[in-house]
C-alpha cells in the first residue's frame, strides 16, 4: 500500500526552544517499509501545509497516519483526516501516538467517520498487521487497534528496541531540527519506559512501568549512521542502569564517535551514577535537562517526585563540576500568587542554570487527570500544551499570565541578555557559517510567542473539538487501569460505540 505518515505542526513552546525530529514516526515508517509498503513522511513542524496538499494529490495514499503525541494537535489531525478522505475517499485513515492512546474512542467519535482506526500503544508492531487488515479485513484482530465497533486485542510491546532503525532518509529539511544552540540536532532512543510514578506524567502509565533497553552495539551502529553533529537522547530518564550507559559509551569509544549530546535524567540518577555521566562528558555530553518540578519539599511531594530539595541542589552542583549546562524545569501551579512568582524569579536568578516553566496540566493517562480534570475551565485541546492554564487559577487569569510571562521574560534576559550576548553571538556565528538559522530565529522570537495578550486570546477562540472528562467514580482508578501496555493480554471485545461523550 501507499502509506503517508504525517506529523502535525509545532506547538507554542517548540516555536522557540526546540524542534525535534519525529523519531517514533520514523520508526513506524521503517516498520511499514520493511513489510513491503511504499512510505512517505510529511513533518508539518518543518514543512508548509502545501507539501501535504501536494502529496495527497501526487502520491494518492491508500493509507494515511497522523502521529499524535500531543493533545493540542488533535483538532489539526482531525482536519487532516477530513482532507485525506475528501482527496481520496477510499483512503484508510488512522491515528497513533502517546496522547491519543488514552482517549481513542472519544477521538473516533469526534472525527465522525474521517478516522477509521486509532492505534493504542507502540506503533512499530501494529503498523504492518493494521495495513494488511485494512486491505484484507480483520481489523478486530490487530493488537492495540480501536475502531468505531470497539477494541481489538491488547497492544503489543515491541520485541526489541534494536530494530527497526528510524527511516531518517525519508525526512525532508532535517536541518530544521534543533534544541537550543544544538543546531542542527538529531534524536536517538536508548530506552523506553520509566520505573517512577510521578503524578503528572503518563510515561509510566503508557508503558505499564516496563523498562526496556537497546543493545549497546545497536545504539552505536545507529549513532554512527547519524550525520548531524548534535544528538538529543530522548529517553525519559537517561542512564538509570549504569552498566547500560557504560556499555553504549564503550561502543562509541571503540568507533571513535564524537557528537555533542543533550539528555534528560533525574537528580537521584545523576547522584547515584556520576561516573557514567562523567564518561559521557568526555564523549561530548554538554547539556542536561533535569525535571526538578519544584524547589521545596511540599511541591516535590505533591508531584510524587521521590527526591528531596537537597538531592536536586546536590545534583546541580555535580553537573556544574562536570561542566554540563543544566536546564531545569519547574511546574507552575495555578494556585501560585504574585509572591510565589517573585520567589521563583529570585531562585531562578540565583542559580547559573537555565530555568524553564511549564504550567501544571492534567492529561489523560496521568493520575492528576482523575483528581483535577473535573475542575477544568476549558476542554479545548489546543490549550493543553503546558503553556496555558486549564484549571482555575488563584490569580485572575490575566494577572496569572502577566506574572507567568514576566517570569519567563526575566529568565530569557538572564541567558540571552547583554551579559551573555558575546557567547550567544559566538554560537550564532558558528551556526550561521554552517547555514543553520534555527538558533538565530530563536533569539528574536520570545516577545512574539510569549505574551499575556496572546495567551488570553487563545482562550477566546471558537472551540470545535473538546477533551472528554473522566467518568465520575467513587474511588480513583487502580494503576493497572491506567496502563496502555500490560504484561498480560486482555481478551478481544467488540461493542457498539456509545453516543455520549467520554471514554
- Grouping H, G, I as helix, E, B as strand and the rest as coil, residue 201 is coil
294: closest CA among 340, 255, 244, 230? 340
Beta pairing class for 38-43 and 2-7: parallel
Residue ranges of domains in the chain, CATH in brackets: 2-147 (3.40.50.280), 177-459 (3.20.20.70)
Q: Can you tell me the distance from the alpha carbon of 410 to that of 345, in angstroms, rounded to the nearest whole number?
A: 7
> Cβ contacts of residue 270 below 8 Å, gap of 6+?
277, 288, 290, 315, 318, 319
Q: Can you tell me the distance from the alpha carbon of 235 to that of 233, in angstroms, rounded to the nearest whole number?
A: 6
Q: Can you tell me the distance from the alpha carbon of 372 to that of 435, in angstroms, rounded to the nearest whole number?
A: 46
Task: Look at residue 13 in the predicted model and tell me its pLDDT.
Answer: 66
**Residue 7, beta-bridge partner list:** 43
Task: Look at residue 41 in the predicted model and tell me its pLDDT.
Answer: 98
Task: Look at residue 181 in the predicted model and tell me its pLDDT.
Answer: 85
Beta pairing class for 38-43 and 92-96: unpaired
Q: What is the pTM of this model?
A: 0.91
Task: Look at residue 413 in the predicted model and tell me its pLDDT.
Answer: 75
Per-position pLDDT tens, the chain of length 503: 999 999 999 987 666 788 999 999 999 999 999 999 999 999 999 999 999 999 999 999 999 999 999 999 999 999 999 999 999 999 999 999 999 999 999 999 999 999 999 999 999 999 999 999 999 999 999 999 999 999 999 999 999 999 999 999 999 999 999 998 898 999 999 999 999 989 889 998 999 888 999 999 999 999 999 999 999 999 999 999 999 999 999 999 999 999 999 999 999 999 999 999 999 999 999 999 998 999 999 988 988 899 999 999 999 999 999 999 999 999 999 999 999 999 999 999 999 998 989 999 999 999 888 888 779 999 999 999 999 999 999 999 999 999 999 998 888 777 655 445 455 556 667 766 666 766 666 666 677 778 899 999 999 999 999 999 877 666 667 777 789 888 643 333 333 333 333 32
Beta pairing class for 493-494 and 150-151: antiparallel
Task: Look at residue 374 in the predicted model and tell me its pLDDT.
Answer: 72
Q: Can you tell me the distance from the alpha carbon of 258 to that of 282, in angstroms, rounded to the nearest whole number?
A: 9
| Largest distance between two CA atoms of the chain | 64
Count of alpha carbons within 13 Å of 426, Cβ hemisphere only? 3
- Grouping H, G, I as helix, E, B as strand and the rest as coil, residue 168 is helix
Task: Look at residue 283 in the predicted model and tell me its pLDDT.
Answer: 98
Task: Look at residue 487 in the predicted model and tell me its pLDDT.
Answer: 63
Count of alpha carbons within 13 Å of 223, Cβ hemisphere only? 29
Task: Look at residue 209 in the predicted model and tell me its pLDDT.
Answer: 83
Give the burial class of 142: count Cβ atoms within 10 A of its Cβ; 0-12 exposed, 13-18 middle, 19 or more buried.
buried
Yes or no: say if 22 and 7 are a contact pair by the CB < 8 Å rule: yes
Look up residue 211 and give its DSSP letter: -
Amino acid at each position: 500500500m501507499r502509506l503517508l505518515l504525517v506529523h502535525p505542526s509545532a506547538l507554542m513552546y517548540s516555536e522557540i526552544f526546540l524542534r525535534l525530529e519525529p523519531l517514533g514516526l520514523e520508526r513506524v515508517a521503517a516498520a511499514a517499509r520493511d513489510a513491503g509498503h511504499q512510505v512517505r513522511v510529511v513533518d508539518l513542524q518543518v514543512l508548509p501545509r502545501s507539501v501535504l496538499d501536494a502529496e495527497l494529490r501526487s502520491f494518492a495514499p491508500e493509507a494515511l497516519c497522523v502521529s499524535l503525541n500531543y493533545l493540542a494537535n488533535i483538532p489539526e489531525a482531525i482536519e487532516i483526516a477530513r482532507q485525506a478522505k475528501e482527496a481520496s475517499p477510499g483512503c484508510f485513515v488512522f491515528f497513533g501516538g502517546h496522547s491519543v492512546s488514552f482517549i481513542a474512542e472519544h477521538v473516533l467519535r469526534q472525527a465522525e467517520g474521517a478516522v477509521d482506526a486509532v492505534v493504542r500503544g507502540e506503533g512499530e508492531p501494529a503498523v504492518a498487521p493494521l495495513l494488511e487488515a485494512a486491505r484484507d479485513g480483520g481489523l478486530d484482530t490487530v493488537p492495540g487497534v480501536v475502531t468505531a465497533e470497539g477494541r481489538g486485542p491488547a497492544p503489543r510491546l515491541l520485541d526489541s528496541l534494536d530494530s527497526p532503525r528510524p527511516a531518517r532518509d525519508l525526512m525532508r529539511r532535517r536541518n530544521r531540527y534543533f534544541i537550543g544552540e544544538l543546531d542542527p540536532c538529531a534524536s536517538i532512543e536508548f530506552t523506553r519506559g520509566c520505573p517512577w510514578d510521578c503524578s503528572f506524567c503518563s510515561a509510566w502509565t503508557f508503558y505499564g512501568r516496563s523498562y526496556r533497553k537497546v543493545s549497546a552495539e545497536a545504539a552505536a551502529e545507529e549513532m554512527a549512521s547519524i550525520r548531524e553533529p548534535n544528538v538529543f537522547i530522548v529517553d525519559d530518564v537517561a542512564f538509570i542502569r549504569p552498566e547500560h550507559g557504560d556499555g553504549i559509551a564503550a561502543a562509541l569509544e571503540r568507533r571513535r564517535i564524537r557528537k555533542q549530546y543533550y539528555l534528560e535524567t533525574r537528580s537521584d540518577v545523576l547522584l547515584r551514577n556520576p561516573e557514567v555521566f562523567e564518561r559521557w562528558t568526555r564523549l561530548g555530553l554538554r547539556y542536561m535537562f533535569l525535571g526538578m518540578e519544584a524547589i521545596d519539599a511540599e511541591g516535590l511531594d505533591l508531584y510524587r517526585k521521590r527526591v528531596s530539595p537537597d538531592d536536586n541542589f546536590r545534583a546541580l552542583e555535580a553537573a556544574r563540576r562536570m561542566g554540563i549546562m543544566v536546564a531545569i524545569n519547574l511546574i507552575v501551579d495555578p494556585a501560585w500568587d504574585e509572591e510565589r512568582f517573585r520567589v521563583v524569579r529570585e531562585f531562578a536568578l540565583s542559580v547559573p542554570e537555565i530555568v524553564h516553566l511549564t504550567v501544571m496540566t492534567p492529561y489523560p493517562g496521568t493520575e492528576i487527570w482523575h483528581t483535577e480534570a473535573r475542575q477544568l475551565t476549558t476542554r479545548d485541546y489546543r490549550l493543553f500544551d503546558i503553556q496555558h492554564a486549564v484549571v482555575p487559577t488563584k490569580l485572575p487569569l490575566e494577572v496569572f499570565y502577566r506574572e507567568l510571562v514576566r517570569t519567563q521574560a526575566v529568565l530569557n534576559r538572564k541567558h540571552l541578555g547583554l551579559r551573555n550576548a558575546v557567547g550567544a553571538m559566538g554560537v550564532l556565528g558558528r551556526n550561521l557559517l554552517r547555514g543553520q538559522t534555527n538558533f538565530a530565529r530563536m533569539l528574536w522570537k520570545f516577545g512574539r510567542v510569549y505574551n499575556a495578550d496572546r495567551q488570553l486570546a487563545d482562550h477566546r477562540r471558537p472551540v470545535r473539538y473538546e477533551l472528554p472528562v473522566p467518568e465520575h467514580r467513587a474511588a480513583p482508578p487502580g494503576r493497572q487501569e491506567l496502563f496502555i501496555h500490560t504484561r498480560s493480554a486482555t481478551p478481544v471485545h467488540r461493542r457498539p460505540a456509545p453516543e455520549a461523550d467520554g471514554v
